Amino acid sequence: MPAGEDQFKTETSNVSTLIEFILLGFSDVPRLQWTLFMIFLFMYLEILMSNSIIIMLAKTDPALQNPMYFFLSNFSFLEVCYVTATIPRMLMDLYTRKGNISLLSCATQMYFVLMLGGTECLLLAAMAYDRYVAICKPLQYSLLMKDKVCWQLVATSWISGIPVEIGQTYQIFSLHFCASNKIDHFFCDIPPLLKLACGDTSVITVAVYVVAVLFVMVPFLLILVSYVKIICNIMKLSSSTGRAKAFSTCSSHLIVVILFYGTASITYLQPKSNQSEGMGKLLSLFYTILIPALNPVIYTLRNKDIMMALKKLQIKLLTWWKSLI
């Protein structure tokens, strides 16, 4: 064992007990550490600001007081929580050029990433259901999407993954990690951790696939069914203007679904032996940072109501600023 790793392990009866991991992050590109720090800091601030604006608009603008924007504001809050589980830690590692992370901190980070990722899958399914009811059953929309129903869907999305991910995180961190204490990733994720485990991990691997199917594939199938029915219903509309308007209300959500599910599915459903460390980090960057950074842009630029609310906000701020001057 290299001398530098002695401080991370204690030996008892020939069994290595890991007390600390090292997140390698982007150490393979040392000359780009400061550049990456500035890029990810800018992206984090952009995510915080843009999602906060969406939440504020959805809460204050009368034109946005409906279920669609209620779900969108919850989704924006979720995105803020999701990126906060990874980016601040990554920024600290880039700044200090040290990736030391305790077992407890690693387990905590993994739990929140998995729980919030599962919540995102379920919330995207709830948003698809909202669009299905709005387009396929417009006369029943106010009845089917009452405030109580919306709150129940959001609460179910947030709560469902908590016990499952607590169990999965405990199961993974009950393993013995004897291969190394170096995680070739920028956060504590399942695939790179399983590569460090010694002994048979087939049972846990199967459990990971089962959870991934429940929280990734099942919501995706529900979304797929919703959009098949939505598209069939839209194609029945005689007015081309009506079809264009109906498509525009769904296009943003559909783009987000494709981007998020595409990268998350490859990461958690592909056999770990078929995925290189570099590809795993790249895919993780997409669904944990790049897509959350793009989501506010996708929703605002393709949504006339939000653009109108933004213009109103700009006018109010400008009027307020002039009154101060």
Structure tokens at 289: 């940072």
Residue 70's Cβ-count burial label (10 Å; 0-12, 13-18, 19+) is buried
**Angstrom distance (rounded) from CA 130 to CA 72:** 11
Residue by residue, DSSP assigns 138-202 as: GGGHHHHT-HHHHHHHHHHHHHTHHHHHHHHHHHHTTS-B-S-SEESSSS--HHHHHHHB-S--H
Per-residue pLDDT of the chain (325 residues; tens, 9 = 90+): 444 444 444 444 334 456 789 998 887 777 888 999 999 999 999 999 999 999 999 888 888 899 999 999 999 999 999 999 999 999 999 998 888 999 999 999 999 999 999 999 999 999 999 999 998 898 899 999 999 999 999 999 999 999 999 999 999 998 888 767 888 889 998 888 888 888 788 888 898 888 888 888 889 899 999 999 988 888 887 777 777 777 777 878 888 888 888 777 776 666 555 556 667 677 788 888 888 888 888 887 767 888 888 888 888 888 878 777 7
The residue to which tokens 């951790």 are assigned? 193
Structure tokens at 76: 């924006």
Please report the domains of the chain, with CATH numbers, ordered by start residue. Answer: 19-324 (1.20.1070.10)
**Angstrom distance (rounded) from CA 133 to CA 165:** 31
